[in-house]
Amino acid sequence: MPDLRDLYQEVILEHSKAPRNFHTIAQANQKAEGFNPLCGDHFTVYVTVDGDAIQDIGFQGSGCAISKASASMMTQAVKGKSKAEAKKLFDTFHKLVTTGEANGDRNDLGKLAVFSGVSEFPVRVKCATLAWHTLQAALEGKQEKVSTE
Ligand code: ZN
């Protein structure tokens, strides 16, 4: 069995203690709420979309260290990107946390690569991907609450 401590790398702990873009955005034109009942992670993601670009992004809520760090690092990774780029990054990230592999796209992940250890802990995959699923729902203008179950 892999050691659980390996999952909580320094960068993940640091982001969970001091999440970036951890605030609402009053002028956001897209937002969505996501919930992971298995763990209790619950976040709302706010996005200001200008044309096709994610101009600003923030989030609020509470959850475990993995879910919060993932949300924090996601906001940094997608800010300034196009919707299509954010979707592609999510696909790569999802592959990484479910299989531990990202093939040729690994360079696109940057710091997000620290989440590769999540693939050893299937129950944590939902924590790591909650914010991403919620972002997709926001970008697609979905009104209903996102649930990982
Ligand atoms: Zn969690």
N-to-C CA span, the chain: 26
How would you write the pLDDT of the chain (149 residues) with one tens digit per residue? Answer: 566 666 778 899 999 999 999 999 999 999 999 999 999 999 999 999 999 999 999 999 999 999 999 999 999 999 999 999 999 999 999 999 999 987 777 788 988 999 998 999 989 999 999 999 999 999 999 878 899 88
Q: What is the pLDDT of residues 16-36, one digit of tens each?
A: 999 999 999 999 999 999 999
Report the predicted TM-score, pTM, of the whole model to 2 decimal places: 0.93
Ligand 1 center–CA 8 separation, angstroms: 12
Ligand 1 center–CA 129 separation, angstroms: 10
Ligand 1 center–CA 134 separation, angstroms: 14
Give the domain CATH number at 121.
Answer: 3.90.1010.10
**Is residue 135 situated within a structural domain?**
yes
| Containing structural domain, residue 78 | 2-141
**Is residue 148 situated within a structural domain?**
no
Ligand 1 center–CA 105 separation, angstroms: 26
**Is residue 146 situated within a structural domain?**
no
Which residues share a beta bridge with 82?
A: 53
Ligand 1 center–CA 12 separation, angstroms: 13
Ligand 1 center–CA 52 separation, angstroms: 30
Give the Cα-Cα-Cα angle 139, 26, 137 (nearest 5 degrees): 15
**Is residue 107 situated within a structural domain?**
yes
Q: In the chain, how many domains are there?
A: 1
